[in-house]
């Protein structure tokens, strides 16, 4: 896991899809840091970044008893078989549906997938969701590669403010490929 200053990250979230580059969302007050214990896995194949991200999330639930390891080929095959969106390995709904199919998260988490062209709004919502649920979020970077957000630092808790400034973000990247 590596800290990524916001200016070097472009995110598309499975919880909320958004592209952000160097985005600062204005706010005030007490710093807030969220850091989750999520395993790092490499991806087995070139189209398995979504499956690897789902695998990391399902084995990174806050309650250890709820964690489950499903292998990437099984997740990928399920997505291909049940696809309802074009480019299923890039489709946020299919990553969400695979997580719900194989290991529905316990309350309070329910993964959502939606497109949002407003980067500030989408980022604020997925940071708030992570803060509220303590679950990692699958996001897409560089327009086509899934990673798992595991930590972030903002100037305030996203649950208690109408806007935040994102200082840094950490994510598990399934690249490079497994050898």
* Sequence ranges of the domains in the chain: 2-172
User: How many CA within 13 A on the CB side of residue 161?
Assistant: 21
Maximum pairwise Cα distance, the chain: 48
pLDDT of residue 17: 31
pLDDT of residue 9: 36
E strands within 14-173?
Answer: 32-35, 137-141, 145-154, 166-172
The 10s digit of each residue's pLDDT in 71-83 is 999 999 999 898 8
Q: Which of 36, 40, 11 is nearest to 125 (CA)?
A: 11
Report the alpha-carbon distance of residue 139 to residue 147 in Å, rounded.
5
Q: Which residues contact 177 (CB under 8 A, 6 or more apart)?
A: 42, 43, 44, 45, 46
Reading the chain (179 residues) residue by residue, the pLDDT tens digits are 555 544 333 333 333 333 333 444 444 457 999 999 999 999 999 889 999 999 999 999 988 999 999 999 999 999 989 887 776 556 778 888 999 999 998 776 677 766 666 777 878 888 998 999 999 998 888 878 899 999 999 999 999 888 899 999 999 999 988 87
Report the alpha-carbon distance of residue 49 to residue 76 in Å, rounded.
9
pLDDT of residue 29: 59
Q: In the structure encoding, which two tokens stand for residue 139, read together? A: 């996001």
pTM given for the model: 0.80
- Answer yes or no: are the C-beta atoms of 167 and 33 closer than 8 Å: no
pLDDT of residue 16: 30
């Amino acid at each position: 896991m590596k800290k990524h200053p916001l200016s070097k990250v472009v995110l598309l979230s499975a919880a909320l899809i958004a592209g952000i580059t160097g985005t600062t969302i204005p706010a005030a007050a007490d710093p807030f840091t969220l850091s989750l214990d999520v395993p790092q896995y490499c991806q087995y194949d070139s189209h398995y970044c979504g499956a690897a991200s789902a695998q990391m999330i399902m084995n990174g639930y806050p309650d250890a008893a709820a964690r489950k390891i499903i292998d990437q080929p099984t997740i990928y095959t399920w997505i291909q078989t049940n696809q309802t969106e074009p480019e299923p390995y890039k489709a946020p709904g299919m990553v969400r549906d695979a997580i719900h199919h194989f290991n529905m998260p316990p309350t309070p988490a329910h993964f959502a997938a939606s497109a949002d062209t407003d980067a500030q709004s989408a980022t604020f919502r997925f940071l708030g969701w992570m803060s509220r649920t303590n679950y990692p979020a699958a996001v897409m970077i560089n327009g086509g590669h899934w990673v798992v957000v595991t930590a972030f630092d903002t100037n305030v808790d996203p649950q208690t403010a109408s806007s935040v400034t994102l200082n840094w973000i950490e994510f598990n990247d399934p690249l490079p490929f497994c050898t």
